[in-house]
Amino acid sequence: MALENTSADGLSAATSTDASTGQGSLVDAPAFRNVPHNIEAEQALLGAILVNNEAQDRVSSFLQAEHFFEPIHGRIYEIAGKLIQSGKQATPITLRTFFESEEDIGDITVPQYIARLAANATSIINAADYGQTVHDLAVRRQLITVGEDLVNVAYDSPVDFPPARQIEEAEQRLYGLAEVGKYGQGFDSFGNALIEAVAMAGAAYERDGGLSGIASGLRDLDKQMGGLQQSDLIVLAGRPSMGKTSLATNIAFNVANARAKALAENPDADPDDPKLDGANVGFFSLEMSSEQLATRILAEQAQVSSEKIRRGMITEDEFRRLRVTSEQLSRLPLFIDQTGGINIAQLAARARRLKRQHGLGFIVVDYLQLLAGSSRTSGQGRVQEITEITTGLKALAKELAVPVMALSQLSRQVENREDKRPQLSDLRESGSIEQDADVVMFVYREEYYLERAQPREGSPEHLEWQTRMNEVYQVAEAIVGKQRHGPVGTVRLHFEGQYTRFSDLAQNDHIPEQHY
C-alpha cells in the first residue's frame, strides 16, 4: 500500500509509485513525475465526513469514489456514503466491520487509520473545497490517461482503426471530461426556474411572431406548436413520397435564413443571442449526399424543378435564377454532415463540435432508422437499438438545449387501411419513439393516394374522383399526433410537388380581392 507514516501524530501521508518515463516524447521530459494528487485533501475530507455526516451532502453531487487517488480512501468514501444514504451514521465504529480484513497500513490497521482520520479532522466548513480539489486532480489524471492512450494508439494503430476514428474517439473522451459537472447539478430552486421561464417569455415577446421557440417559417404550424422548442425531440414521420425530407429541408432553410437575415440586420449581435430570429442549423443527411441536399434546397428556393437541374434541361432565365439564389444560400448558417452509417455516439460528438466551433440552435437527422446504436445494443435486436438511439437524441437535445428533429419511416400497415392518415401506432419500433419524443408529427398527402386510384374516364366514379382531387390538389397535412407542451391537431399546408416545397396554405379569408 502506498501510504506511510510521516506525520508527528501518526496520521499517514502518501507517496506515489506511479511515474511517467516520457520515452518517445518529442520534447524533453523529466525521467520521473508524480501524477497530480493531494493526499492531505483526501484525508481532510474523509475526516470531516466521519465527524459530521452532513459534509458528505456537500460533495456527493460531483465526487465519486474513483476520484480519490488512494484506493483505500475511495473505499472509505464509498462505504461511508452508502451508510449515510441508508439513514445510518458513518463513524469509525460503524465502518470498522467493513475493513477488519484489510491489509495493514504500515504499523497500524485500517480501522485504526480511520479513527485517526476522524481524530485529526477539522471543521466541515471547507469540505466542499477539499472535495473540489480531489475532483479536479482526478480530472487532471484522466487527461493524462487520455493523452497517453492517444500517443500509444498513434504509435501502434490497428489496421481497422483509422486516424479519423482515433481523433473522434479522443474528442469524445475529452468532451466528456469538459462537460463533467456541467449537467445534472441536482436540484435547482423554483425561483431560478421562474427566472428562466420569464426570460423565455421575454425572448418570445421580443421575437417576431411572439413564439417561445424557433420559428419554422410555416405560419400555421408555428401557431400549433409555438415554434421549435429548446430541448425538444421532434419526430417527423411519414410513408415514402409523402415529403418528410422536403418538409425538414424547408424548415431547416427557413430557420437558417431567418438567422442570416437577423445577423445581417444586427452585425454586432451575439450569434447565439436567443432573441435573434432563426438559428444555426446542423443537418445530418444519412440518406442523401450534401450535393443532393443542396440541389434540393436550391430547387425549392429558385423554383426550378430539381429533375430539370439534374438533366441539364433548364432555360437561361432559370439558370440566372439558380445563380442568384445560390449566392444568397451560400451565406446561410446551414451545416451538412453527409456521413452514412454513423452511430448515435458519433452523431452526438459531431453536434457538440459544431456547437463549439460555429454555434448550433437546431439539429435535423434524416433519418432515424439509418442511425446505428452502440455495439452493446446491436446484438440485442433492432427495437433495443432504436431505444438507445431515441434516448440518445433526447439526451442530446437537453444537453445542447436545442430542438432536434428526427425523421422516421412508418410501417406498411398504413397502406392496409381505407383511411391512410398515419397514427402513433404506425411508427416503426413505436414504443421508444413515441415515449421519448416530445412532439410526433406526421406528413400526409391524400393527393398522392388519389392519383393512384383514378377511375376510368367517363365512369360515374370519375366525376366524384375529379371533385375530390380538386379539393386536395397541392394540399398536405401536418398531423401533430403528440405534443407534450400543447394540443394535437392537423395543420394544412401548401405543397408544390415539382419543387418539393412546402409553404403556408392560403385561407379563404386571406385571398386577395379579385378584379375582373
- Per DSSP, the residues of 194-207 read HHHHHHHHHHHHHS
Residues belonging to the chain: 516
How confident is the model at residue 14, as a pLDDT? 38
My answer on whether 29 and 167 are in the same domain is yes
Looking at the chain, the whole-number percentage of residues with pLDDT higher than 90 is 6
pTM of the entire predicted model? 0.65
Kind of pairing between the strands at 12-14 and 281-285: unpaired
My answer on whether 21 and 114 are in the same domain is yes
The pLDDT-based confidence of 178 (bands split at 50, 70, 90) is low
My answer on whether 329 and 259 are in the same domain is yes
Q: Which residues have a Cβ under 8 Å from the Cβ of 296 and sit 6 or more positions away?
A: 245, 246, 249, 288, 306, 500
Average pLDDT of the chain to the nearest whole number: 78
- Listed residues 441, 467, 491: the one ending a domain: 441
How confident is the model at residue 399, as a pLDDT? 84
Best mean pLDDT range from 186-200, 411-425, 482-496: 482-496
Place of cell 425523421: 407
> What is the number of alpha carbons within 13 Å of residue 179 lying toward its C-beta?
15
Q: Which range (2-16, 145-159, 384-398, 422-436) has the least confidence? A: 2-16
Q: Is residue 72 part of a domain?
A: yes
How confident is the model at residue 345, as a pLDDT? 79
My answer on whether 54 and 143 are in the same domain is yes
Do residues 388 and 240 lie in contact, with contact meaning Cβ atoms separated by under 8 Å? no
**CATH number of domain containing 155:** 1.10.860.10
My answer on whether 151 and 219 are in the same domain is no
Q: Which range (47-61, 63-77, 182-196, 330-344) has the least confidence? A: 182-196
My answer on whether 264 and 383 are in the same domain is yes
How confident is the model at residue 404, as a pLDDT? 93
Q: Which range (230-239, 268-277, 476-485) has the least confidence? A: 268-277
How confident is the model at residue 405, as a pLDDT? 92
Dihedral angle over CA of 157, 158, 162, 166, nearest 10? -60
Among candidate residues 454, 455, 452, 449, the one with its CA nearest the CA of residue 477? 449
Q: Is residue 49 part of a domain?
A: yes
For residues 234-239, average pLDDT: 88
Q: Is residue 478 part of a domain?
A: no
Instruction: Strand 233-238: give its sheet, edge to edge.
Output: 334-337, 281-285, 362-366, 404-409, 233-238, 439-444, 475-483, 489-496, 501-504
Q: Is residue 452 part of a domain?
A: no
My answer on whether 312 and 236 are in the same domain is yes
- Listed residues 178, 200, 228: the one ending a domain: 178
For residues 256-277, average pLDDT: 78
Q: Is residue 435 part of a domain?
A: yes
Q: Residue 267 is part of which domain span?
A: 214-441
How confident is the model at residue 383, as a pLDDT? 75
My answer on whether 133 and 234 are in the same domain is no
Model confidence over 346-391: pLDDT tens digits? 788 788 888 877 888 899 998 787 887 765 555 566 777 788 888 8
How confident is the model at residue 20, as a pLDDT? 40
My answer on whether 230 and 105 are in the same domain is no
Does residue 515 carry a pLDDT above 50? Answer: no
Q: How far apart are CA 339 and CA 351, in angstroms?
A: 13
Q: How far apart are CA 141 and CA 118, in angstroms?
A: 27
Q: List the grid coordinates of 439.
A: 412532439
Q: Is residue 79 part of a domain?
A: yes
| Of 240 and 508, more confident | 240
How confident is the model at residue 193, as a pLDDT? 66
My answer on whether 170 and 235 are in the same domain is no
My answer on whether 435 and 327 are in the same domain is yes
How confident is the model at residue 512, as a pLDDT? 43
The pLDDT-based confidence of 286 (bands split at 50, 70, 90) is confident
Q: Is residue 513 part of a domain?
A: no
Number of structural domains the chain divides into: 2
My answer on whether 363 and 306 are in the same domain is yes
Alpha-carbon torsion (179, 183, 189, 195), positive or negative: positive
- Helix, coil or strand: residue 167: helix
**DSSP E strands, 6-142:** 12-14
**CATH number of domain containing 364:** 3.40.50.300
Does residue 143 carry a pLDDT above 50? Answer: yes
Model confidence over 403-462: pLDDT tens digits? 999 998 887 877 777 777 888 877 766 567 878 889 999 998 888 887 777 777 777 777
Q: Is residue 447 part of a domain?
A: no
- Listed residues 128, 160, 178: the one ending a domain: 178
How confident is the model at residue 7, as a pLDDT? 41
